[in-house]
Structure 1
């Protein structure tokens, strides 16, 4: 490997698990446990809905049963994912393929970028290595040239245009290179020399668009206090998704077929232009209809003009259905509308200017710019701004104003996408994380993906809590943006299984709301004695406990020795991050609010100062849990509480506090170097005491 794994063994072996024979017995065991989990879970949740809700306390009883239903669905989605675990053996890499290795960077330290670039240059299979420097730094360019490594930054076409973060950086590089295959590496992901030898063989399948390999980090202690390693995802979950042809692109450590990306870019370009035109046509119909309603007697000539435009709109639709070119159809339509406009009286022209000028933030010149493309909340899409369309459709129009507004609407569908640096954007730009949306679009076009379960790069994880929270928030925001903008259930071309696989990942980020309920329920009972269930009976335990045990057994069997506890802790402990990701993504997509983007720092950002301020919601939750426990014990001692109910809820509180203890550890964590120094000191003290 290019970098030696740490001695504590946190990274694990580099041998290829795919060389191990697949166990049909283990597969049958997993499926049996999945079925039992489903039966027990459904048995419990149906009973909860039908017989156990305390309707006198519906305000907590209903949220709790909804949270439990959410958790059951989450469990079923996981079971469906691992139903078809796929173990692959890569074919031998064919000779003669051309490959570009892309190392994306913005503001990472120069030595870090060069370490990755040198390792990339040393990849054994013939290729070209490029540093994609989105920061346009002279020192990076000079160092790259000195190393004989290619350097690419944004072209002049990107000046004053939407940047689209990493997706824009990659899209720019795609137009400057010509390799048949691309390797995408983040600046901190040091590749193994055999990366291409181990993965290019998959592309002998001409339908294969992408091969993803794991992301494993070398600067993480065995205890993994920040939850950086994701052995369950980069293992059983990705293998399970792979079984359904839904292995995810994860932004780095992936190999992609250029042909697939370029086909995607062209297809999306055409689709988005068509979408924009159809929206413009729909709004045009409404504008013309409203204008006709304002006509009084004696306006037959104007009425005929409006009818002619409406007839032309129908002709445009018909020609588009017949496959005629968009540019030709819209140009001819604009010429006919111009002729109609010239035939009307000059007085109406003056009225049009006065009417249109009264629109807030819209004028004749500004309308062209305002309707050419999506709003800032949906950068990069050639679609008409829905807010502007609503304004236009609801406005009371004079006849000539209506006709000219229709002309401007159709002209706003600009086939050259003048509001973008480049017309074709292969990497999706609808999200702050480009990977999921791009992969889902490739699947919708019929391409295949694969997950190669072998560590072929050594990465660097965030070194402090603030950096980790920044990273997790961006991941979650990007996923939720995709859910809002291109929900998998609405995507044609995806199989049902693929839709479920994408939805399962999106669904997981809703856990923040369920976590709030799971925290509130025991607190409310211990403080006020209010139960969300009719009673804590034997039937309650008989239905719930077997489900919980079998569900945990599924993780144990699927993980096959993989430690999943840290991931389970953070799925609950980061509930404020998950909630914020949803609210901020909603504000961005539907309200046009800015969504801050920050590159995850690759070096330690805090040293001595402990950032308790970053986890205030969790600390408040822990404080309330402790206070509630004390009050519950006092109420029990005074005979105001039930022993069984109090005991069950105290156990629940203890479980929550154990979960949240990871936050304390995360705040106190001072980075991997400090961890190693502490280990060395402890070892020295141990040796001295002998």
Structure 2
């Protein structure tokens, strides 16, 4: 039986409903927990916990010494605000953007008699797609800049085979003749530009001068698309106001502490936060696995090139022009998350700098922004998200203030039970939500979230001073560099906390119980120490690999 036979002869097609190819396994197995009563209950309980903790913290009767109290209030205010915004968005995540117009367009996407007449039933990549009964032209743009050839080959080969007629283009910013030969061998078109301005966005804009399709897909070189990439996204464009359809970044290389932590950190966002943003027409592009309407991009003058986070900036400009966005939490491409500390630091620095640039130089709350109230709030959350990554740096200072100077953030008259009840009501429920959505407790996320504050501090300074940051590609090939080159602040902080722990132990010698400050400091020291052990193991493995390659 041919591929088209299964389409025509399926019970769904015979019954007049959506054909078999319109209900791929990826969608059928899509996680249904976004609208589950259990998640909603957890979110509501967590919201109550957030409010209760905020009330406890801001109660004047509970205040201790001014300096540590202000540090705690500053840090926790950021966390509470981000948590409340996330709860609000997650509560909207059960909305399915697939409306009647989408399903109608899906059922009419392919002209079956024409496919049969052309004898192309076993060649899905030749099936012409239609919207409102008119054929559409689609380009798939694979952006490359020095990645391994095997990585590029897997993506390009899969892109060429995607179901639905399209043209595949390899956009090579690495100017590599081997990549050109690879593209020609796989049946893709090759584009090389002479200048490197605008990084990835500039690469795409240059390609759009020769790729003239009605719609175009952007794929990073390490994201291998699934055959149903176009059939799951193109029908949304039956709505003429839809500018782009974004799908999640799903990772297939969760093998190391860094790759697992970096991957799991994105899970809650892609499974629950982005779907919730559909309610507010505020889901934004994440740079890959996205389909754009060419007319919408032309309307805003092309992909935004003055930031390393061209994806978010392009999205906000489209929303300001009145265009709509759609996000579907269906995996349509699988790629790689950073596997090394170097790659993770560079990725997070790029993302955070782009977010802070929006906050400081294109604030969504500023007058003149043509956004709805909901869009303003959602983009404000995006722009301030990485402030929560700076919070650990502030909280790390609180235990040393007590150990060295006897300064405490909360009143000494408070019993430990009352403090613990308020504190745990906030944090334990946050962990419970993360555990529910990820399937289990992911300690790697806690590790990276606790030690990444130097990256986000640097990103904030870069955005504040408009310092240009060099572009780095995740997974780019190159020689070994010690991860300790990128974790100097964490190493210095670890030494300081270790000395602080030693002083605290000496001061408490002979006392029956340990103070909360000392326990807190020991935990912080252990987390940073665990991260440095991970860096040491990565360094040893990298040196061995470099010796084998030489």
Question: Hey, what does 1:452 align to over in structure 2?
Answer: 328
| In the alignment, structure 1 residue 144 sits paired with structure 2 residue 183 | yes
Taking structure 2 as the reference length, the TM-score comes to 0.80
Question: Hey, what does 1:37 align to over in structure 2?
Answer: 49
Compared with structure 1, are the counterparts of its residues 22 and 480 closer, same or farther at alpha carbon in structure 2 (3 Å cutoff)? closer
| In the alignment, structure 1 residue 202 sits paired with structure 2 residue 236 | yes
| In the alignment, structure 1 residue 505 sits paired with structure 2 residue 349 | no
| In the alignment, structure 1 residue 433 sits paired with structure 2 residue 467 | no
Question: Hey, what does 1:598 align to over in structure 2?
Answer: 472
Question: Hey, what does 2:37 align to over in structure 1?
Answer: 25
For residues 73-99 of structure 1, the C-alpha deviation after alignment (integer angstroms, 9 at most, x for no partner) is: 122122122121135375453233211
For residues 541-594 of structure 1, the C-alpha deviation after alignment (integer angstroms, 9 at most, x for no partner) is: 44333333333334344x162655433332221110000011122122xxxx44
Match for residue 450 of structure 2 among 568, 572, 580: 572
2:396 partner SS:
helix
Compared with structure 1, are the counterparts of its residues 42 and 459 closer, same or farther at alpha carbon in structure 2 (3 Å cutoff)? same
Matches within 5 A, 1:128-277: 128-154=167-193, 163-221=197-255, 223-224=257-258, 227-229=261-263, 230-265=266-301
Matches within 5 A, 1:305-320: none
Compared with structure 1, are the counterparts of its residues 25 and 601 closer, same or farther at alpha carbon in structure 2 (3 Å cutoff)? closer
Question: Hey, what does 1:481 align to over in structure 2?
Answer: 357
Matches within 5 A, 1:524-563: 524-535=401-412, 537-538=414-415, 539-557=418-436, 559=437, 561=439, 563=441
Question: Hey, what does 1:624 align to over in structure 2?
Answer: 496
Q: Distance in 2 between matches of 1:619 and 1:661?
A: 8
Q: Once structures 1 and 2 are overlaid, which stretch shifts more, 468-477 or 250-259? A: 468-477
Question: Hey, what does 1:8 align to over in structure 2?
Answer: none
Q: Distance in 2 between matches of 1:670 and 1:555?
A: 27
For residues 525-547 of structure 1, the C-alpha deviation after alignment (integer angstroms, 9 at most, x for no partner) is: 12332223332612434433333
CA deviation after TM superposition for structure 1 residue 23, in Å = 4.2
Number of equivalenced pairs: 483
For the aligned residues, what is the CA RMSD?
2.9
Question: Hey, what does 2:20 align to over in structure 1?
Answer: none
Q: Once structures 1 and 2 are overlaid, which stretch shifts more, 117-126 or 618-627? A: 618-627
Compared with structure 1, are the counterparts of its residues 173 and 605 closer, same or farther at alpha carbon in structure 2 (3 Å cutoff)? same
Matches within 5 A, 1:47-196: 47=59, 50-55=60-65, 58-88=66-96, 90=98, 91=102, 93=106, 94=109, 95-96=129-130, 97-154=136-193, 163-196=197-230
Compared with structure 1, are the counterparts of its residues 584 and 226 closer, same or farther at alpha carbon in structure 2 (3 Å cutoff)? farther
Match for residue 487 of structure 2 among 587, 599, 615: 615
1:182 partner SS:
strand
2:82–2:381 CA contact under 8 A, matched in 1: yes
Q: Distance in 2 between matches of 1:222 and 1:600?
A: 15
Q: Distance in 2 between matches of 1:655 and 1:534?
A: 22
Q: Distance in 2 between matches of 1:221 and 1:256?
A: 32
1:460–1:602 CA contact under 8 A, matched in 2: no
CA deviation after TM superposition for structure 1 residue 102, in Å = 0.3
CA deviation after TM superposition for structure 1 residue 26, in Å = 3.9
Compared with structure 1, are the counterparts of its residues 112 and 214 closer, same or farther at alpha carbon in structure 2 (3 Å cutoff)? same
Q: Distance in 2 between matches of 1:438 and 1:515?
A: 31
Question: Hey, what does 2:22 align to over in structure 1?
Answer: none
Compared with structure 1, are the counterparts of its residues 71 and 435 closer, same or farther at alpha carbon in structure 2 (3 Å cutoff)? same
1:197 partner SS:
coil
For residues 218-263 of structure 1, the C-alpha deviation after alignment (integer angstroms, 9 at most, x for no partner) is: 2221755562312122211222222322212100011111121111
Question: Hey, what does 1:517 align to over in structure 2?
Answer: 394
2:284 partner SS:
coil
2:257–2:534 CA contact under 8 A, matched in 1: no
Q: Distance in 2 between matches of 1:541 and 1:27?
A: 24
Taking structure 1 as the reference length, the TM-score comes to 0.65
1:511–1:571 CA contact under 8 A, matched in 2: no
Compared with structure 1, are the counterparts of its residues 562 and 68 closer, same or farther at alpha carbon in structure 2 (3 Å cutoff)? same
Compared with structure 1, are the counterparts of its residues 495 and 148 closer, same or farther at alpha carbon in structure 2 (3 Å cutoff)? same
- State the structure with more CA Rg: 1
Q: Distance in 2 between matches of 1:622 and 1:550?
A: 28
CA deviation after TM superposition for structure 1 residue 14, in Å = 4.8
Q: Distance in 1 between matches of 2:318 and 2:530?
A: 38
2:470 partner SS:
coil
Q: Distance in 2 between matches of 1:116 and 1:225?
A: 20
Q: Distance in 2 between matches of 1:560 and 1:516?
A: 26
Q: Distance in 2 between matches of 1:129 and 1:145?
A: 11
1:54–1:531 CA contact under 8 A, matched in 2: yes
2:501–2:518 CA contact under 8 A, matched in 1: yes
Q: Distance in 2 between matches of 1:667 and 1:172?
A: 39
Compared with structure 1, are the counterparts of its residues 45 and 207 closer, same or farther at alpha carbon in structure 2 (3 Å cutoff)? farther
2:146–2:476 CA contact under 8 A, matched in 1: no
**Structure 2 residues without counterparts, runs of 5 or longer:** 1-24, 110-128, 131-135, 546-550
Between 1 and 2, higher relative CO (CA 8 Å, sep ≥ 6) is seen in 1
2:447–2:531 CA contact under 8 A, matched in 1: no
2:140 partner SS:
strand
2:259–2:338 CA contact under 8 A, matched in 1: no
